[in-house]
Amino acid sequence: MRHVYCKLFVCIIQIIIVSGPVNGSEEAESLIDAILQAYEAQLLDIGTGLGSATFLMREGPTGYQQTEELTDIRFWYKGEKRRTDFFETATEVDAPKRLRSVADNGEVLFSYNTQLDRASISTLNPISDRGWFGKDFHPSTLLTGWRSLPAVDMLRLMKEKQNQDKYKPYLQRTNEGFIELAGKSEEKLTHQNKAFDAVELFSFVFDPKHAFRPVSYYIEQQNTEGPGSAYVLDVKIRWLENNSGVGYPKSIEFSSHSVLSDAELEKGPPEGLDEKEWLSFKDRESYWKIIVEEFQQNTEIDDKLFTLEGMGTTGATLINDHILGSIQRYGSVRIAEEQLDSLLNESKEIKSATRETNVSSDLQIKTSEDDLSEDEMDVHENISASANFSRIGLVIFVLVSLTGCVICLYAIKYLKRLRHS
């Protein structure tokens, strides 16, 4: 079915694009519809897949030293299910060390931090939990675009804007035989009673011979968020060759440069950022690159991979279950979250490790680093530790008491012998 769609769409494009650039909303709309339908046809044929990749992230304020992070990644998908494991980069001496795993089965999201041996369970939110660049390697993400790169959303936006007089789309065939869909939007805006021009430029390049795979995106915005604001996004994609089924990229380069306007800075930092961090975003550059090292398609994958058990959790793993509102160790009895506060308050009254607690030593509490502070996590550990310590102290006390009794009996016998002698 997909191949039928693609042949039809290629015929449409060949009719539309004869030579040179072609202006007009009808032609642009036909191309956008063809691309969107080609993507939808591919999404019906996801199948299964697994692979490995490296993810390089370099970002920071323009003109200053930027932070750089390199992560090794393994990924799996089966239909809508998906999982990503993150590793420290391997060295010549040490093998890669797994840092964390994230998976979802289409309904539930699982997260496991192997360093802290803590996990969480929550209801899946497809909008916020999926589609992030460098984290989600499902083919649907690659076809529709990441949160930072909403390719299909941008195409739909272009389709909506194409009938506006301020929006001027055009089509043209590139020297490489690709098809470029581009547009320009201009608008008069005012700030503090001063008028200025806001300009948006879009350019999407697709390969019509391979189901309209995206080859590059370029987005530029000037003054759209106030005088002086700027944003440039440049993305380049190379695709694996000779693979059956849904296409998969070989590499993706993502670079961006953003400048905040005075109007944006005046609003102050958003929630979660302090003033210093907020100012670092005034002029900021980012460069992300994914290189797919290995990829296998339509291979057998066990559903267990998309569960906490499949991630390698053990009886010692602390788990925070947001769905059931419970905290426990993996496979143990649950404790409701409302009971947690009372346990924490009670534990704060412990003045020494030998003091009695009202919590049994076999009480197992689970949590995750996302929802509880490190102090609270230590409290959970101390509750069990103090109870165990109390038991040890009781055993020692009994042994000492018995020893004292034996010594006393021998002393009494010795004194009786002295009297008789």
3-state secondary structure 69-96: EEEEEEEEEECCEEEEEEEECCCCCCCC
316, 381 Cβ separation under 8 angstroms? no
Higher pLDDT, 365 or 142: 142
**Which residue range forms the structural domain that includes residue 164?**
2-255+284-303
Task: Give the tens place of pLDDT for each residue, 283-322.
Answer: 999 999 999 999 998 899 999 999 999 999 988 899 999 9
What local confidence, expressed as pLDDT, does residue 167 receive? Answer: 63
Lowest pLDDT segment from 120-134, 136-150, 251-265, 298-312: 136-150
Confidence band for 403, pLDDT divided at 50, 70 and 90: low
Separation of alpha carbons 211 and 191, rounded Å: 44
Confidence band for 226, pLDDT divided at 50, 70 and 90: confident
Residue 361 lies in a domain: yes
Residue 267 lies in a domain: no
What local confidence, expressed as pLDDT, does residue 35 receive? Answer: 80
**Looking at the structure, do residues 363 and 218 belong to the same domain, yes or no?**
no
What local confidence, expressed as pLDDT, does residue 68 receive? Answer: 92
The conformation of residue 246, written as its DSSP 8-state character, comes to S
Q: Which residue has the tokens 């000492």?
A: 400
Lowest pLDDT segment from 25-39, 48-62, 163-177, 345-359: 345-359
Task: Give the tens place of pLDDT for each residue, 48-65.
Answer: 999 999 999 999 888 888
**Looking at the structure, do residues 291 and 352 belong to the same domain, yes or no?**
no
Residue 40 lies in a domain: yes
Confidence band for 394, pLDDT divided at 50, 70 and 90: low
Q: Cβ–Cβ contacts within 10 Å for residue 130, how many?
A: 19
320, 352 Cβ separation under 8 angstroms? no
Residue 312 lies in a domain: no
198, 219 Cβ separation under 8 angstroms? no
Percentage of residues in the chain with pLDDT exceeding 90? 27
Separation of alpha carbons 134 and 54, rounded Å: 9
Burial class (CB in 10 A: 0-12, 13-18, 19+), 150: middle
Cβ-based neighbours of 392, under 8 Å, separated by 6 or more: none
Residue 326 lies in a domain: no
171, 161 Cβ separation under 8 angstroms? no
Higher pLDDT, 145 or 372: 145
Residue 100 lies in a domain: yes
What local confidence, expressed as pLDDT, does residue 188 receive? Answer: 85
What local confidence, expressed as pLDDT, does residue 302 receive? Answer: 95
Confidence band for 184, pLDDT divided at 50, 70 and 90: confident
pLDDT average, residue stretch 18-41: 68
Separation of alpha carbons 309 and 314, rounded Å: 8
**Looking at the structure, do residues 193 and 341 belong to the same domain, yes or no?**
no
**Looking at the structure, do residues 23 and 160 belong to the same domain, yes or no?**
yes
Confidence band for 368, pLDDT divided at 50, 70 and 90: very low
**Looking at the structure, do residues 344 and 232 belong to the same domain, yes or no?**
no
**Looking at the structure, do residues 71 and 209 belong to the same domain, yes or no?**
yes
SS3 for 48? strand
Token pair recorded at residue 237: 């994609």
Task: Give the tens place of pLDDT for each residue, 321-355.
Answer: 999 888 888 776 555 555 555 555 555 555 444 44
Lowest pLDDT segment from 2-16, 131-145, 215-229, 316-330: 2-16
Separation of alpha carbons 333 and 318, rounded Å: 12
- pLDDT higher than threshold 70 for residue 163: no
**Looking at the structure, do residues 8 and 133 belong to the same domain, yes or no?**
yes
Higher pLDDT, 374 or 367: 374
Lowest pLDDT segment from 35-39, 356-360, 378-382: 356-360
**Looking at the structure, do residues 248 and 394 belong to the same domain, yes or no?**
no
**Looking at the structure, do residues 249 and 364 belong to the same domain, yes or no?**
no
Burial class (CB in 10 A: 0-12, 13-18, 19+), 216: middle
Separation of alpha carbons 229 and 221, rounded Å: 8
What's the predicted TM-score (pTM) here? 0.69
Most confident listed range (156-170, 273-287, 403-417):
273-287
What local confidence, expressed as pLDDT, does residue 399 receive? Answer: 62
**Looking at the structure, do residues 247 and 372 belong to the same domain, yes or no?**
no
Structural domains in the chain (count): 2
**Looking at the structure, do residues 363 and 250 belong to the same domain, yes or no?**
no
pLDDT average, residue stretch 132-146: 78
Residue 400 lies in a domain: yes
- pLDDT higher than threshold 70 for residue 174: yes
Q: Max alpha carbon distance in the chain (Å)?
A: 130
| Pairing state between β 118-123 and 179-191 | unpaired
Burial class (CB in 10 A: 0-12, 13-18, 19+), 37: middle
Confidence band for 364, pLDDT divided at 50, 70 and 90: very low
**Looking at the structure, do residues 143 and 239 belong to the same domain, yes or no?**
yes
Question: What average pLDDT does the chain have?
Answer: 75
Task: Give the tens place of pLDDT for each residue, 64-118.
Answer: 888 899 999 999 999 999 999 999 876 667 777 899 999 999 999 999 999 999 9
CATH number where 46 lies: 2.50.20
Residue 298 lies in a domain: yes
